Amino acid sequence: MYPPMIGISLILRVLVPWQDLVDELTLPGIEPILWHIDDDPHDAPEADVLVTERPSNPRLRSRVSRIKGLKHVHLLSIGYEWVLEHLPKQVSLTNSKGAVEDATAEHCLALVLASLRQLPRVGQQQRERQWTRTWTSSLHGSKVVLLGAGGVGSEIRSRLLPFKPAELTSIARAERVHEQGYPVHSFNRLWAILPTADVVIVALPQTPETKQLIDAEFLSAMKNGSLLVNVGRGPLIDTEALVQELQSGRLHAALDVTDPEPLPAHHALWSAPNCIITPHMAGDTDQFIALVSELAVNQVIAFAHGEKLANRIIN
């Protein structure tokens, strides 16, 4: 059914986090082994390939570096910054680009709408059985700044446009015309438009350049009553500075990612006013699982037969 295995041992040992992947990868020449980087109490057994989620516990990330015989890591996510310092030399890396963008963009839109239309407040009124009409802001007519023009940023933009924002400005590191035909401005443009933005959406990857990009100076430049949404990475925002702005009542926020993460139970961000927090769940949909699983299976089979891998980060 499959072409001969090339350049690796007769049996390819593959660590996978879900039983469904074990079932799908039980194929000639492949030995799937159930092991979850978060949940298994022991380090991984020797293996050629690791298919893994991003561990929720940062202390467990180093487990990747201790896998004997490892040749390739495939991530069930787009983000890969967490694994780089733990990736042994000569180990290749791929991610799940193409499988998570739609789910993340959909969740981002939900956060924006829930915050602008004050759904948490209305939900509380429902629990208190209060019939009180609430006047809100909306995407329609708002000025939106979108930080990020990659796969996630592009999908977010396409979902925002039907809501007829007054302005929708995409910003990324380099100025260019996006392949879809719209202009992408550089960060130099940000400071001119930030004070007029009603909504600022963060969909950037975590890099040394973007870490704490949204600092006290950035937040102070946002206009009163504006909304900050983060579906990128938690460390892109100075959490302490954001908490201060929220506690003052000046800004609103909707966050799928935080710093630290997981957010400790005692953290001030939990009780900050005008803040929606979801537990890094933007990609957690049934459709995402189906897409990411299909990609993982195809990647493992391709690796087993010496074929070209999709989404290579490190060769």
Residues carrying an active site annotation:
233, 261, 280
201-222: b (≥16 Cβ within 10 Å) or e: bbbbbbeeebeebbeeebbeeb
CA dist., res. 91 & res. 105, Å (int): 31
Q: What is the sign of the dihedral through the CA atoms of 13, 17, 22 and 25? A: negative
Q: Which residues pair with 168 in a beta bridge?
A: 144
Q: Tell me the DSSP string of the chain.
A: --PPP-SS-SSEEEEESSHHHHHHT--TTEEEEE--TTT-SSPPPS-SEEEEPPPSSGGGGGGGGG-TT--EEEESSS--GGGGGGPPTT-EEE--TTTSHHHHHHHHHHHHHHHHTTHHHHHHHHHTT---------STT-EEEEE--SHHHHHHHHHHGGG--SEEEEE-SS-EE-TTS-EEE-GGGHHHHGGG-SEEEE-PPP-TTTTT-B-HHHHHHSPTT-EEEE-S-GGGB-HHHHHHHHHHTS-EEEESS-SSSSPPTT-GGGG-TTEEE--S-TT-SHHHHHHHHHHHHHHHHHHHTTPPPSSEEE-
What Rg do the C-alpha atoms of the chain give, in angstroms? Answer: 22
